[in-house]
Structure 1
Amino acid sequence: MSTASASAHAHINTSMETASNSSINTTPVNTRSAQFTPQQHQQQYIYSPTPVYMQSPVQLGSQMSLQGPPHPGNPHQISILADHDIQRIVDSLKISLKDEINAIVNVAIQTQVQPLKDELTHLRAKVIHLEGEMDAANQYSRRNCILISNMKELPEENTNDIAIQVAKEGGLDITPSDIDRSHRNGKPKVNKPRDIIVKFVSYKTKHDFMKIRKQLRQRKSQAYINEHLTSFRGELAFQCRLLKKNPKSPVLDTWTYDGNIYIKTEVKGHMIRVNTHNDLVQFGYNPNQSMN
């Protein structure tokens, strides 16, 4: 090898060694002795010739540090998060997830639960309508019937004869041929006579019989005459009578006609037809408390 060639080779080796020594900091970093105070920045950086981000988290004093991947600009940069920073991130995630969950639940309610509620409301309204139709049909089947109450019950009695006797007491003449059938209603009672159900052959006879109620009251008859109402309408009429007796209620009078129930709140006012219990709420009826 010539003298010039050897000199050039030695110069290249010297330059590479100098560049290598200047680019690598061989001073070891003691990460365990590093101390951080609250006055310092929330992010601290440690420089090391080896990629410490591949190591497990290290304990820095009383704080647990998280080591992230190296920054593109510096392959040996490590980000340190304090405990309160981690807690702040966790709280922020909780709020974010809570809002997202609430949004998902609200969407589910609107898309799935609400249609079910609407269908349930529709079905309830349909049931109420069908029950009303059934009650109306049941009441119509009793169109020619009346109830005679407070008549002494005898072992060998004839209920047709009792009905004819009550009619004569009120000034109405009827014959056995006007009566389709009659009988006591329900099981025998100890201290109270059962009502007598009378079904007439024609609606006209039943209508004429209902007209003698006023004459019976004037003559102080022991008999009481009422229409044969369904259970629902009978209870509704009973609530109307309770309102009439209540001094706090505006109901002045109540009666039935052809199975329908009416009330009056003014002496010369119009009569009001009552179809359901809800119609009585405005007059003082409380569905949760019986009025005495």
Structure 2
Amino acid sequence: MPPKIPPKKSEQSEADAIRKLLPRFEDELLARIKDDLPSIINICLQELLKSRSYDTSKLQHSLDAINVSIKELNNDIQTVKHAQQFQSEKFDELMNEITQVQKMAKANAENIRENTALINSYKEYSTQLEGKLEEFDRLSRMEILEFHNIPEQENESTDSLIKELLSLMNIDISENDIDYSFRRRKAKNKETGPIIAKFISRKTRNHIMSSRSNLKAAHNSINIPDVSKVFVVENLTPKALNLLFKAKDQKKKSGYSFLWTRNGKILARKNSDANILVIENEQDLVKMS
């Protein structure tokens, strides 16, 4: 075979240039085909219809039906769009309402926290105030004693009855030592009400309290025929009196030996060797368990 002769440089350059231009020609050709394709198809269809005597009226009827369906479909699409828009607006309104409710709930929660803190502050202040009032009431009764089971008499003088009883206890006082006295209405289960007496001096009152054991050896008198039934106690506040009743119940349950009052306060002791327990509230009753 004869040897291949390599192309010249000029011929090689022309070939490369042609190769580069081919893609551009292909793109232009495809673009023209795309532009001319609808008209070509239309011409072909017309020729086909003419050559085959195609019934254009049926085709037109079908096209009209298709157009009607398309219009109905478009109307349905518009209706759906409107419905979606309406739902979207309602959803936005609902979200706005939820946002407002959340803001209100947050504000209300903050108000509740503030009000709770304020209420707790008032409760604490009320507790402190209640304690101060209780202490004031206790101190105001420090000169007052209650004398129980002294028989009631017609047109009685409670001051004279107190003097007579104290005389039986070997305690000598004058009417000037008594600030006032009166008989309290009796309870349903009692034969007579106690005599409440306030003394001028707390010293006198304390002397009477420390001499109560003298009642055991006291003799009866005309106006006090059974002195053995008489007993003298401190005039407690309603709160302390209620607490004393509960302490008595707890004393029985817990086996405490001693329970008494001193200066309006309640004291308890398990036995003679135990420490004294001060009962100031119901929580202290648990300590007796």
Calculate the TM-score normalised by the size of structure 2.
Answer: 0.60
The question of whether the paired residues in 1 share the 8 Å contact of 2:258 and 2:270 is answered with yes
**2:234 aligned partner:** 227
Which ranges of structure 1 fall in alignment gaps of 5 or more residues?
1-10, 32-46, 58-66, 70-95, 285-292
Partner residue of 2:283 out of 267, 271, 278: 278
Q: Give the equivalent residue in structure 2 for 1:205.
A: 204
What is the distance in 2 between the residues matched to 1:250 and 1:119?
43
Name the SS of the counterpart of 2:228 in structure 1: coil
Stretches of structure 2 that go unaligned for 5 or more consecutive residues are 1-31, 43-62, 86-94, 219-226
Matched position secondary structure for 1:197 = strand
Between the two structures, name the one with larger relative contact order (CA 8 Å, sep ≥ 6): 2
Classify the secondary structure of the residue corresponding to 1:221. helix
> How many Å separate the matches in 2 of 1:110 and 1:195?
55
Q: What pairs with 1:179-190 in structure 2 (closer than 5 Å)?
A: 179-186=178-185
Larger radius of gyration: 2
Q: 1:54 and 2:77 equivalent? A: yes
Residue 156 of structure 1, CA deviation: 2.6
Residues 167 and 212, structure 1, Cα contact 8 Å, conserved in 2 = no
Give 4+ residue runs of structure 1 displaced > 3 Å after superposition. Answer: 16-21, 26-29, 50-53, 99-110, 186-191, 217-220, 281-284
- Which has a greater percent of helix? 2
SS for the counterpart of 1:147 is: strand
Superposition CA RMSD, Å: 4.3
DSSP 3-state at the match of 1:262: strand
Is the 1:166–1:223 Cα contact (8 Å) retained in structure 2?
A: no
Counterpart in the other structure of 1:155: 154
Deviation at 1:233, TM superposition (A): 1.6
Shift in Å, 1:52: 7.0
* Deviations, residues 146-193 of structure 1 (Å, cap 9, x unaligned): 000011101032212221222233332222232222111237979621
2:133 is aligned with what amino acid? M
Letter in 1 for 2:207: D
1:121 aligns with 2:120: yes
Amino acid at match of 1:15: D
CA separation in 2, counterparts of 1:101 and 1:217?
80
Q: Report the TM-score when normalising by structure 1.
A: 0.60
Percent of aligned pairs with the same residue? Answer: 22
